[in-house]
Amino acid sequence: MKLWAGRFRKELDSTTNDFNSSISFDCRMAGEDIAGSIAHAAMLAAQGIISAEDGLAIRDGLAGILSDLNDGTLEIDMGAEDIHTFIEAELTARIGDAGKRLHTGRSRNDQVALDIRLYLKNAAAGLRERLCGLVDVLCDTAEEYADTVMPGYTHLQRAQPITFGHHVMAYCEMLLRDIGRLDDAVKRMDLSPLGSGALASTTYPLDRLAVAQSLGMAGVTANSLDGVSDRDFCVELAAALSLVMVHLSRFSEEIILWCSWEFRFVELDDAFSTGSSIMPQKKNPDIAELVRGKSGRVFGDLMTLLTVMKGLPLAYNKDMQEDKEAVFDAVDTVSMCLTAFTPMIATMRVNADNMRKAAAGGFINATDAADYLVGKGLPFRDAYKAVGELVARCIEGGKTLETLSLADYREVCGAFDDDVYDAISLDRCVAMRKVSGGPALVCGQVARVKQLIG
């Protein structure tokens, strides 16, 4: 029996019924639907809209349905139109007419709007926990390799000396922003639309705030039209998750490069690598590649939500049923990626020697040589030009700034002295970068981040 039976004289075409049905994906909201219904029934009874006896019967009946779903005694009927229809029909079958009173003062429009808010609020909490877990692993990694010198890059060209710990902490900052965006999305999600009805609220004396408080929500939506038609929170969550995937994808790209024989900065554990069906020597970073690839899937989910919502008049439209598959997929994909990515990083072996060797080439201490001359009184632009000439000499002679003779230095600029070699040593180059946020202060960055994530 459809909840909207009565007006219609013919059964819905079977193919159309399948097209219209949403239970295949909204069944995951069964727990939230039952929680919302229990809160709604308790309020109806408290307001004298239904009897106390019916209120208790509804509460106990719904609790029994939830228990049976959880232990597998009750299976969801996938032939039902949606999870709301299934639960109400099951409740009525168990407790009779009292079950038919549950929907008093409520529409499926505000019911589903509540369910998806509750579901995504819980999902966001789980994603936040996974993000904090990854940040914690990265902090431990950064602390362990706080003094491991490596080249920093711009344009994928060796640029200046940093440490591996400093590099890793850059991703912690990205992930902290992701956590902040999740928290912000939850703030705007955490309002109950129940009581908005189909679009124009109801004539029943509902206590909307009591329902919201019993569900642990911060308040209620302020406009009934907006209450049932708002899906900004779905879009906002998908946007936040898209940025999570941008950051995971960027990190994956670097891991893929670092695993190559051209870099050999890290080696992934065998448990997080795969081989080739034809080339026995191969060890492929497939997990990182999959994370990089799945970013496009989450971006697509965001575009789906934006496209669905962009042309809808107020209030509810059936198009909005398309919100769930997209936002659920975004949640599931990011959760799966974090679940695989975190232990991959935790078990990754760092090749500090190869990082050091790479840092020794590419003249990444050239800026420090220029800064040395500035310390001797030269304007920076003059110092820059002098060191540029020295680098050109090194390239022509197959030398580095460390192996270039002092005579060569002085031929270009007489301000150079023996202490230039100490000034351009990689360890000193890193150690002197004590400006807030710099590579010499990794341990302080770690302490700050760990305090932020609790």
Distances (CA, A) of 184 to 55, 177, 179, 332: 35, 10, 9, 20
**Predicted model pTM:** 0.92
What percent of the chain lies above the pLDDT cut of 90? 92
8 occurs within a structural domain = no
Percent pLDDT > 70 in the chain is 96
pLDDT tens digits for 376-423?
999 999 999 999 999 999 999 999 999 999 999 999 999 999 999 999
Q: Give a yes or no: residue 41 inside a domain.
A: yes
- How far is residue 352 from each of residues 252, 334, 426, 439, measured CA to CA in Å? 19, 30, 14, 16
Asked if residue 228 and residue 184 are part of one domain, the reply reads: yes
CATH number at 123 reads: 1.20.200.10
Instruction: Check pLDDT > 50 for residue 368.
Output: yes
9, part of any domain: no
| Whether residue 87 has pLDDT greater than 90 | yes
Residue 440 and residue 433 in contact, taking contact as beta carbons nearer than 8 Å: yes
**Average pLDDT value for residue range 371-379:** 95
Q: Which of 357, 385, 405 is the last residue of a domain?
A: 357
Taking only the tens place, the pLDDT of each residue in 283-326 is 899 999 999 999 999 999 999 999 999 999 999 999 999 999 99
Could you tell me the two tokens for 282?
């191969």
* 410 HSE (CA, 13 A, CB side): 7
Residue type, 386: A
d(Cα 50, Cα 231) in Å, to the nearest integer? Answer: 31
234 close to 323: Cβ distance less than 8 angstroms: yes
**Same domain flag for 350 and 384:** no
Q: Are 41 and 59 in contact (CB under 8 A)?
A: yes
Nearest Cα to Cα of residue 431 among 159, 161, 138, 142: 161
User: How much is the pLDDT for 45?
Assistant: 98
How far apart (Å, rounded) are the C-alpha atoms in residues 113 and 215?
A: 14
Asked if 364 and 378 touch (Cβ cutoff 8 Å), the reply is no
**What span, in angstroms and rounded, lies between the C-alpha atoms of 445 and 428?**
19
Same domain, 423 and 395: yes
Claim to verify: residue 187 and residue 326 sit in the same structural domain: yes
Give one word for 243, left, alpha or beta, with left for phi > 0 and alpha for psi -120 to 50.
alpha
11 pLDDT exceeds 90? no
Range of the domain at 341: 109-147+158-204+215-357
**Mean pLDDT for all residues in the chain:** 95
- The pLDDT value given to residue 409: 95
Confidence of residue 454 (pLDDT cuts 50, 70, 90): confident
Whether 210 is covered by a domain: the verdict is no
448 with 309, same domain: the answer is no
Give the residue-averaged pLDDT of 210-239: 98
pLDDT at 277: 78
pLDDT at 284: 92
**Domain shared by 170 and 301, yes or no:** yes
Residue 5, pLDDT above cutoff 60: no
Residue 351 identity? N
> Which residues, in sequence order, are CB contacts of 360 under 8 Å at separation 6+?
400, 402, 426
Cβ proximity of 341 and 335 under 8 Å: no
Is the same domain home to 116 and 176?
yes
Q: Of 102, 123, 151, 71, which Cα lies nearest the Cα of 361?
A: 151
pLDDT at position 4 is 43
Instruction: Answer with the one of 327, 357, 387 that is the final residue of a domain.
Output: 357
Give the separation between CA 96 and CA 156, rounded to whole angstroms: 69
pLDDT at 246 over 80: yes
**Tens of pLDDT along 29-82?**
999 999 999 999 999 999 999 999 999 999 999 999 999 999 999 999 999 999
- The verdict on 46 and 164 lying in the same domain is no
Based on the domain organization, do 352 and 275 belong to the same domain?
yes
Looking at the fold, whether 34 and 48 belong to one and the same domain comes out as yes
Q: Which of 14, 155, 277, 436 is catalytic?
A: 155
Both 267 and 414 in one domain: the answer is no
Q: Yes or no: say if 390 and 400 are a contact pair by the CB < 8 Å rule.
A: no
Give me 386's structure tokens. Answer: 């002098």
- Which member of 24, 260, 276, 405 is catalytic? 276
SS3 track for 403-424:
CCCHHHHHHHCCCCCCCHHHHC
Residue 197: pLDDT over 60: yes
What token pair was written down for 5? Answer: 């039976």
CA dihedral 143, 146, 148, 153 (to 10 degrees): 110
Output DSSP code: residue 274. B
The span from the CA of 314 to the CA of 308, in Å, is 13
**Which H, E and C letters describe 276-338, residue by residue?**
CCCCCCCCECHHHHHHHHHHHHHHHHHHHHHHHHCCCCCCCCHHHHHHHHHHHHHHHHHHHHH
Asked whether residue 448 is assigned to any structural domain, the reply reads yes
Contacts of 17 (CB under 8 A, 6+ apart): 81
pLDDT of residue 143 exceeding 70, the answer is: yes
**CB contact at 8 A, 111 and 36:** yes
Domain end point (choices 357, 388, 422): 357
Q: Is residue 4 part of a domain?
A: no
Number of domains, the chain? 3
pLDDT at 450 over 60: yes
* 138 Cβ neighbours under 8 A, 6+ residues apart: 168, 169, 171, 172, 175, 345
The answer to whether residue 196 is catalytic is: no
Is residue 78 a part of any domain in this protein? yes
Strands (E), 72-188: 149-154, 157-163
Separation CA 364–CA 401 (nearest Å): 10
Burial of 451 (0-12, 13-18, 19+ CB in 10 A): exposed
Distance separating alpha carbons of residues 22 and 30, to the nearest angstrom: 13
Residues 6+ away with beta carbon under 8 Å from 10: none
For residue 30, the domain's CATH number is 1.10.275.10
The domain that contains 368 carries what CATH number?
1.10.40.30
Task: Tell whether 333 and 401 lie within a shared domain.
Answer: no
Does any domain span residue 3? no
Radius of gyration of the chain (CA): 30
24 included as an active-site residue: no
